[in-house]
Amino acid sequence: MRRVALDDGGQFVYPQFRKQGVATALIRRVLDTLRTQGKTVTVVCPIVRTFITSHPEYEDLVDAGRPGLKHSRG
């Protein structure tokens, strides 16, 4: 499988650890790993979509045929 559907998988950051970059680090690590594996992603999580919108260097990982969410909420 060369394409991965990326959602939050029920993951969350406990309130006491929010605003410290934990979610950003997790998303970045996952995307970097998928890049090294030569995979693309279908984004189904609004938080991941917001991250990719804010970090366009990851936009090339989004599967062109099945991008999933195209815009972050807001």
Q: At residue 5, what are phi and psi to the nearest 5 degrees?
A: -85, 125
Domain locations along the chain: 3-61
Q: What is the pLDDT of residue 1?
A: 47
Token pair in block for residue 38 = 């030569």
Supply the mean pLDDT for the chain. Answer: 83
Q: What is the pLDDT of residue 9?
A: 58
Q: What is the pLDDT of residue 3?
A: 53
The predicted-structure confidence for 60-69, as pLDDT tens digits, reads as follows: 999 999 998 8
Parts of the chain with a pLDDT under 70: 1-12, 72-74
CA triple 48-52-10, angle to 5 deg: 10
